[in-house]
Structure 1
Amino acid sequence: MTHPLKTVLVTGATAGFGHAIALRLVKEGFRVIATGRRKERLDALAAQAGGAVLPFVLDMTDLEAIKALPDALPEGWQQVDVLVNNAGLALGLEKAWQTKPADWEQMIATNVTGLVEITRALLPGMVARNAGHVISLGSTAGTYPYPGANVYGATKAFVDQFMRNLRSDLLGKQVRATTIAPGLCGGSEFSQVRLGDKDKADAVYDNTKPLLPEDIAETVTWVLKLPPHVNINEIEMMPTCQASAGLAVDRTMAV
Structure 2
Amino acid sequence: MAPFNTILLLGATSGLGESAAKRLLGQGKKVIVTGRRQARLDALKAEGLETYAMDVSDIAAIPKHFDTLFSTYPDIDTVWINSGMATRYSVKDINSYTDADLALEVTTNLTAAAIIARHAIPRFLARGEGVESHFLITTSGLAYVPIPFFPVYNACKAGLHYFLVSLRQQLRDSPVSVIEIVPPYVATEYVVENKDEAPKNLQAMSLKDYEDEVFAQLDNIPAKQLKEVAAGPAVQRVKTWRDGLGAMIAKPFAD
TM-score tier after normalising by the smaller chain length: 0.7 to 0.9
Match status 1:238 vs 2:232? yes
Identify the residue that residue 70 of structure 1 maps to in structure 2: 66
Give the Å deviation of 1:139: 1.0
Moved more, 177-186 or 14-23: 177-186
Instruction: Give the secondary structure class of the aligned counterpart of 1:235.
Output: strand
CA contact 1:183–1:237 (8 Å) conserved in 2: yes
Q: Residue 153 of structure 2 corresponds to which residue in structure 1?
A: 152
How many residue pairs were aligned?
232
Percent identical residues: 30
Amino acid at match of 2:158: A
Q: Is the 8 A contact 2:6 2:29 kept in 1?
A: yes
Deviation readout 1:76-107 (Å, 9 max, x if unpaired): 51332111111011101323664432222111
Q: CA deviation digits over 1:129-179, x for unaligned, max 9?
A: 241111111111111133223211110011100000110111111211111
Residue 61 of structure 1 is matched in structure 2 by 57
Q: CA RMSD in A?
A: 2.8
8 Å contact kept, 1:141–1:149: no
* Match in the other structure for 1:250: none
Amino acid at match of 1:182: P
Partner SS for 2:189 = coil
Equivalent AA in structure 1 for residue 122 of structure 2: P
Deviates more, 1:128-137 or 1:204-213: 204-213
2:99 alignment counterpart: 101
- CA shift, 1:229, in A, is 6.0
Mapped pair 1:211 → 2:211 = no
Q: Distance in 2 between matches of 1:212 and 1:230?
A: 28
Q: Mark the runs of 5 or more structure 2 residues left unpaired by the alignment.
A: 238-255
Q: CA deviation at 1:223?
A: 4.2
Structure 1: gaps spanning 5 or more residues: 193-197, 245-255
Do the aligned residues in 1 keep the contact of 2:217 with 2:229 (CA within 8 Å)?
no
CA contact (8 A) 2:70 2:76 kept: no
Partner Cα separation in structure 2 for residue 101 and residue 229 of structure 1: 39
- TM-score when normalising by structure 1: 0.80
Question: Aligned ranges for residues 115-126 of structure 1 at < 5 Å?
Answer: 115-126=113-124
**For 1:121 and 1:214, how far apart are their aligned partners in 2?**
32
The normalised TM-score by structure 2 is 0.80
**Counterpart of 1:24?**
23
Higher relative helix content: 2
